Chains A and B, each alone.
Chain A
Amino acid sequence: MMLSGDEDEEKWLAEGIAGVQHNAFYMHRALDSNNLREALKYSAQMLSELRTSKLSPHKYYELYMRAFDELRKLEMFFKDESRHGVSIIDLYELVQHAGNILPRLYLLCTVGSVYIKSKEAPAKEVLKDLVEMCRGVQHPIRGLFLRSYLAQVSRDKLPDIGSEYERDAETVMDAVEFVLQNFTEMNKLWVRMQHQGPGRVREKREKERNELRDLVGKNLHVLSQIEGVDLEMYKENVLPRVLEQVVNCKDELAQYYLMDCIIQVFPDEYHLQTLETLLGACPQLQPTVDIKTVLSRLMDRLSNYAVSSADVLPEFLQVEAFAKLSNAIGKVIDAQVDMPIVGAISLYVSLLTFTLRVHPDRLDYVDQVLGACVKKLSSAPKLEDSRATKQVVALLSAPLDKYNDILTALTLSNYPRVMDHLDDGTNKVMAMVIIQSIMKNSTCISTAEKVEVLFELIKGLIKDLDGAAQDELDEEDFKEEQNSVARLIHMLYNDDSEEMLKIICTVRKHIMTGGPKRLLFTVPPLVFSALRLVRQLQNQDGDVAGEEEPATPKKIFQLLNQTIETLLYVPSPEMALRLYLQCAEAANDCDLEPVAYEFFTQAFMLYEEEIADSKAQVTAIHLIIGTLQRISVFGIENRDTLTHKATGYSARLLKKPDQCRAVYACSHLFWVDDQDGIKDGERVLLCLKRALRIANAAQQMANVARGSSGPVVLFVEILNKYLYFFEKGNTQITASAIQSLIELITSEMQSESTTLDPADNAFFASTKRYIEFQKKKGGAMGEKYDPINV
């Protein structure tokens, strides 16, 4: 029966273990009886099991560990000369008589370790001999494990500073030399694995290699543990040698792993002081090596180091860490032509993160990074890769997060240039991020220049970019975006009116490019922002008198006029009308009669020409009336014209009830309850009477059209107006008129044809209760109400 590969391997492993155990048993017996010859014989046989080629690294490791444990016992035996009676020097020769190389070298390493311990020969000599002899095993897996064994048994015997094996100052170098050589040889073996065996099992082999990598990396760890490896030695010897090996092995897996290893095992301080060397190796690596991860980790480590203590920061400056990193990244990107753009960008992101953490005060660095990124991006067509785009967003967001302040980002000249390389969608996302950052931190953008830059940044939201497909826009998203822009406009503020005006002009310039859909959202905040300025100017009036003040309300109103006009093309006449009225009111506050008049004119013209919908008309006319009522600046003539127009339009509304309500609202135009407000009781009464007439007409129309009289509510409403003016002292409104109106309503309500709305009833009832209340209150008001009976 055929066994599958795995089962085969299990079987071979079991056989190997059995072989080790069997021979170990006889070895133990020999050890117990202090029989050196037999001990050597059986240990060599035991180690012969390690000569197998059939096991994967994983399984081989299992076998190796078994043998390893046994070798410890043998080592104990070797150590005790009284047990075997052979001097260590002779023993060192004796084990070399073994015919098979693998057992021979395992035994040699074992005796070698005892030899060093005995101090009968300098550690240096023994180590050198061992590491040299191990060359005989060229089989990758067997060689790696053998050398790993050597590294293991020699670890505590290196002639390090302070170690008992140190003889003079020179010996640290010997220790380093030894570990480096072992490392080099192991790496060579490891790399070679890749080229062995048929090509079809490449993947499996890569996996196996990966399992073995820590055997190689262990050497670097040992190196980092050698006390005597100070910065000087690391710089002059260790690092260049290790890097030489890394570069020369030309193996992707090894280069990646080892670079990472170097970065992880040696102290930060060393990295900082040898940045140039370390980074110099990067562009020389294979083009497929994932350098970005390596460099990112390096930068992570360095930035952690930088923030760990304030004392180390000067070192960073001294070695020009940023310049070096930046330079290296540039070189890596140049060298690795095939590196996808996302790789390059993520490198820049790492560098940027490093910069922000280590040199938060160096905006020029940040800008430099962005600049490099722009350079890279411009060499390629517009970004399509979504991962790359994500990285760019990360790149752009990093400074925002760090500084919590868009103002900083605005000073970066390359910031907008990076954004240019984003696709429209991402550009918008980024613009939103910027706006949100502003909102979150309530940042106030206070100069026109910054506003200019800012709008340049978020232009994805401000206008349609070239070739943007309109139909793809999601309505809701669009609204949200534009609302954000609207909110943003409110964040642009400067106390200085002149600058503020500039800001407004800048904003205006930008939003005017936005097209009809956006104007609807962006014009109102701009208008209100401008009106705020107007009010500010109005308050300062006294202070700035005499000075040549370019930011006059007049000028602003002109600007506003033009701005609002654009809404007509949207078209959004209702909005324009509201804004005109707002402006008119502001102009009123500034005592600018002609301006206010002009705005009203605009409003009326809009009403006449653009507002056709009857509901919209009702709303509009009420707005006009309300605004007009509050305006005090007009002279009699102007006012008459306008009120006349307003009442005229009111009476021409389509539905009778609307007419009625508009007309009685107009009554307020003639009675402003201010000290010096207009108080034309007669015309008030006229309006109210007219309203009554219309209400009557409505009633009759309802009778004719539907066979039932219309709602009485209009009368009740008019009654309330009566009461209002009655209370305000309009002599034209008499108690008897009120009395008759009440009676009219009462009779209407009792008429059979009337359909009674409980709400109307309640309304009327409460009105009557109010009259009762006023009567009972007594005093002047009570007297006034006295004649009225309910």
Chain B
Amino acid sequence: MNYLIGAFKPACNISITFADGKNRKQVPLKKENGQTIMVPLFQSQENISGKISIEPVLGKKVEHNGVKIELLGQIEMYFDRGNFYDFTSLVRELDVPGEIYERKTYPFEFSTVEMPYETYNGVNVRLRYVLKVTVSRGYGGSVVEYQDFVVRNYTPPPSINNSIKMEVGIEDCLHIEFEYNKSKYHLKDVIIGKIYFLLVRIKIKNMDLEIRRRESTGSGANTHVETETLAKFELMDGAPVRGESIPIRLFLSPYELTPTHRNINNKFSVKYYLNLVLVDEEDRRYFKQQEITIYRLQENS
């Protein structure tokens, strides 16, 4: 048995450590298997550096055709499982072919890496960044080790951020005017607004504000659209009369939002909508959906 076990075991252990691993912020990342692990956080244009150490198992020597480290930015569509599309791929050769007898350490560095897209875990699509170390071997297969990390990109507050204001209605039935204070919100933002009832001829039971995420993947005939309701926030209880003005104050922080992603590498988009829903006493729903842009604001800024 030992032999068998030995046969499937990789010939060496590879570990990847980041240069500033102690101080760098760690964020949770959900793995494919459902587990959540803590991984370091980067943003675009950062230097990603560290060390690789390779330690042969049980003092055996490891023959190899070279050691390399890659920094990959991948998009994975779930309906096209296993097919990764690398939008970023950087390689550093760490060693020429040879043999490793004992633990060996290689420093590596990718400087000012362009990582335009954020890590994203959606329903149908995943965008991830990973460091991949490969010890190439002629036989017995190569030894490969991955290290995930998360990329988040911060956006300054937009210079133009108009409010959303709209008058909608059903003729002779319901007429409302609503206003959200902005069209672009950062992740910890608060939506402030109000709904003004111009005409109410139906018996409204309540009114909710929903935050919906629309994830579309693929293109053309292969487009998949998935919509999730991330927040359902009751704005009003009971039936208003004409002239009532109902306040909106919705804190975004409790919800697991991401920034809006538009056409990421022609592969997918993630958009956010505010959906105002009025429900009448017969449980009929009247709604109006408005897109909002969500961005990530530098937290200390």
Q: A residues touching B (Cβ–Cβ < 8 Å)?
A: 51, 93, 96-97, 99-102, 104, 132-133, 135-140, 142-143, 188, 192, 196
For B239, list chain A residues within 8 Å (CB): 138-139, 196
For B231, list chain A residues within 8 Å (CB): 99
B244 and A139 contacting across the interface, CB-CB below 8 Å: no
Question: How many Å lie between the Cα of A100 and that of B245 in the bound state?
Answer: 18
Within 8 A of A (CB), among B243-257: 244-247, 249, 251, 253-254
Interface residue B150 (Cβ < 8 Å from any Cβ of A): no
When the two chains form the complex, which single residue of B237, B241, B249, B253 contacts A192, counting CB atoms closer than 8 Å?
Answer: B241
A143 and B234 contacting across the interface, CB-CB below 8 Å: no
Question: How many Å lie between the Cα of A188 and that of B233 in the bound state?
Answer: 25
Nearest chain A CB to B179's CB is how many angstroms away?
15
A-B interface pairs (CB < 8 A), number: 54
Residue of B nearest to A140 (CB): B238
For A101, list chain B residues within 8 Å (CB): 206, 234-237
Sorting the interface of chain B by its residue count into under 10, 10 to 19, 20 to 34 or 35 or more gives: 20 to 34
Question: How many Å lie between the Cα of A93 and that of B188 in the bound state?
Answer: 12
A139 and B234 contacting across the interface, CB-CB below 8 Å: no
For A51, list chain B residues within 8 Å (CB): 237
A138 and B240 contacting across the interface, CB-CB below 8 Å: yes
For B249, list chain A residues within 8 Å (CB): 96, 133
When the two chains form the complex, which single residue of A99, A138, A188 contacts B236, counting CB atoms closer than 8 Å?
Answer: A138
Nearest chain B CB to A132's CB is how many angstroms away?
6
Residue of B nearest to A188 (CB): B241
Q: 6 A-B contacts, Cβ less than 8 Å apart?
A: A51-B237, A102-B237, A135-B246, A136-B237, A139-B239, A188-B241
Among A101, A136, A192, the one with the most B-chain Cβ atoms within 10 Å of its Cβ is A136
Question: How many Å lie between the Cα of A234 and that of B300 in the bound state?
Answer: 49
Interface residue B232 (Cβ < 8 Å from any Cβ of A): yes
When the two chains form the complex, which single residue of A97, A137, A196 contacts B237, counting CB atoms closer than 8 Å?
Answer: A137
Q: Tell me the dominant secondary structure on chain A's binding face.
A: helix
Residue of B nearest to A134 (CB): B247
A138 and B251 contacting across the interface, CB-CB below 8 Å: no
Known contacts A51-B237, A99-B234, A139-B239, then 13 further A-B pairs from the complex at CB < 8 Å, ordered by chain A residue: A96-B249, A99-B231, A100-B234, A101-B235, A101-B236, A135-B244, A135-B245, A136-B247, A138-B237, A138-B240, A138-B241, A188-B241, A192-B241
Nearest chain A CB to B156's CB is how many angstroms away?
24
Residue of B nearest to A102 (CB): B237
A137 and B238 contacting across the interface, CB-CB below 8 Å: yes
Nearest chain B CB to A775's CB is how many angstroms away?
117
For B234, list chain A residues within 8 Å (CB): 99-101, 104, 136
Q: A143-B238, A196-B239 are in contact. Are A138 and B247 (CB under 8 A)?
A: no
Q: Tell me the dominant secondary structure on chain B's binding face.
A: strand
For A140, list chain B residues within 8 Å (CB): 238
Question: How many Å lie between the Cα of A380 and that of B249 in the bound state?
Answer: 60
Residue of B nearest to A97 (CB): B254
For A99, list chain B residues within 8 Å (CB): 231-234
Question: How many Å lie between the Cα of A101 and that of B253 in the bound state?
Answer: 18
Question: How many Å lie between the Cα of A453 and that of B257 in the bound state?
Answer: 94
Q: A96-B249, A96-B251 are in contact. Are A136 and B235 (CB under 8 A)?
A: yes
For A142, list chain B residues within 8 Å (CB): 237-238
Give 1 or 0 for each of B199-239: 1 = CB within 8 Å of chain A CB: 00000001000000000000000000000000111111111
A136 and B241 contacting across the interface, CB-CB below 8 Å: no
A138 and B244 contacting across the interface, CB-CB below 8 Å: yes
Q: B residues touching A (Cβ–Cβ < 8 Å)?
A: 206, 231-241, 244-247, 249, 251, 253-254
Question: How many Å lie between the Cα of A192 and that of B242 in the bound state?
Answer: 11
B232 and A138 contacting across the interface, CB-CB below 8 Å: no
A97 and B251 contacting across the interface, CB-CB below 8 Å: yes
Residue of A nearest to B245 (CB): A135
Question: How many Å lie between the Cα of A188 and that of B240 in the bound state?
Answer: 10
Question: How many Å lie between the Cα of A97 and that of B244 in the bound state?
Answer: 23
B246 and A136 contacting across the interface, CB-CB below 8 Å: yes
Question: How many Å lie between the Cα of A136 and that of B249 in the bound state?
Answer: 10
Residue of A nearest to B239 (CB): A138
Question: How many Å lie between the Cα of A135 and that of B232 in the bound state?
Answer: 19
B247 and A132 contacting across the interface, CB-CB below 8 Å: yes
For B235, list chain A residues within 8 Å (CB): 101, 136
For B206, list chain A residues within 8 Å (CB): 101
For B246, list chain A residues within 8 Å (CB): 135-136, 138
Q: A132-B247, A133-B247, A133-B249 are in contact. Are A139 and B241 (CB under 8 A)?
A: no
Nearest chain B CB to A37's CB is how many angstroms away?
12
Question: How many Å lie between the Cα of A102 and that of B234 in the bound state?
Answer: 9
For B233, list chain A residues within 8 Å (CB): 99
Question: How many Å lie between the Cα of A259 and that of B249 in the bound state?
Answer: 36
For A135, list chain B residues within 8 Å (CB): 244-247
Nearest chain A CB to B92's CB is how many angstroms away?
45
Nearest chain B CB to A243's CB is how many angstroms away?
19
Nearest chain B CB to A509's CB is how many angstroms away?
70
Nearest chain A CB to B73's CB is how many angstroms away?
34
Residue of B nearest to A93 (CB): B251
Nearest chain B CB to A628's CB is how many angstroms away?
98
Nearest chain B CB to A207's CB is how many angstroms away?
21
Question: How many Å lie between the Cα of A304 and that of B232 in the bound state?
Answer: 59
Residue of A nearest to B238 (CB): A139
For A102, list chain B residues within 8 Å (CB): 237
A137 and B254 contacting across the interface, CB-CB below 8 Å: no
For B254, list chain A residues within 8 Å (CB): 97
A138 and B245 contacting across the interface, CB-CB below 8 Å: no
Nearest chain A CB to B177's CB is how many angstroms away?
15
Nearest chain A CB to B8's CB is how many angstroms away?
46
Question: How many Å lie between the Cα of A196 and that of B205 in the bound state?
Answer: 12
For A196, list chain B residues within 8 Å (CB): 239
Question: How many Å lie between the Cα of A99 and that of B244 in the bound state?
Answer: 21
Question: How many Å lie between the Cα of A51 and that of B206 in the bound state?
Answer: 11
Among A93, A101, A138, the one with the most B-chain Cβ atoms within 10 Å of its Cβ is A138
Residue of A nearest to B231 (CB): A99
Nearest chain A CB to B205's CB is how many angstroms away?
9
Q: Which 8 A-B pairs have the closest CB atoms?
A: A139-B238, A138-B238, A101-B234, A138-B240, A97-B254, A137-B237, A136-B236, A101-B237
Residue of A nearest to B241 (CB): A192
Residue of B nearest to A189 (CB): B238
Question: How many Å lie between the Cα of A136 and that of B254 in the bound state?
Answer: 21
Question: How many Å lie between the Cα of A97 and that of B235 in the bound state?
Answer: 12
Nearest chain A CB to B51's CB is how many angstroms away?
39
Question: How many Å lie between the Cα of A220 and that of B246 in the bound state?
Answer: 24
For B236, list chain A residues within 8 Å (CB): 101, 136-138
Nearest chain B CB to A780's CB is how many angstroms away?
117
Nearest chain B CB to A76's CB is how many angstroms away?
25
Residue of A nearest to B235 (CB): A136
Nearest chain A CB to B255's CB is how many angstroms away?
9
Residue of B nearest to A101 (CB): B234
For B232, list chain A residues within 8 Å (CB): 99
For B240, list chain A residues within 8 Å (CB): 138
Among B238, B241, B254, the one with the most A-chain Cβ atoms within 10 Å of its Cβ is B238
For A100, list chain B residues within 8 Å (CB): 234
Nearest chain A CB to B200's CB is how many angstroms away?
10
Question: How many Å lie between the Cα of A138 and that of B245 in the bound state?
Answer: 10
Question: How many Å lie between the Cα of A140 and that of B251 in the bound state?
Answer: 27
For A97, list chain B residues within 8 Å (CB): 251, 253-254
Residue of B nearest to A51 (CB): B237
Residue of B nearest to A196 (CB): B239
Question: How many Å lie between the Cα of A137 and that of B246 in the bound state?
Answer: 9
Question: How many Å lie between the Cα of A70 and that of B239 in the bound state?
Answer: 28
For B247, list chain A residues within 8 Å (CB): 132-133, 135-136
Nearest chain A CB to B60's CB is how many angstroms away?
52
For B241, list chain A residues within 8 Å (CB): 138, 188, 192
Question: How many Å lie between the Cα of A572 and that of B254 in the bound state?
Answer: 109
Nearest chain B CB to A63's CB is how many angstroms away?
16
Residue of A nearest to B249 (CB): A96
Among B236, B237, B244, the one with the most A-chain Cβ atoms within 10 Å of its Cβ is B237
Among B235, B245, B249, B251, the one with the most A-chain Cβ atoms within 10 Å of its Cβ is B249
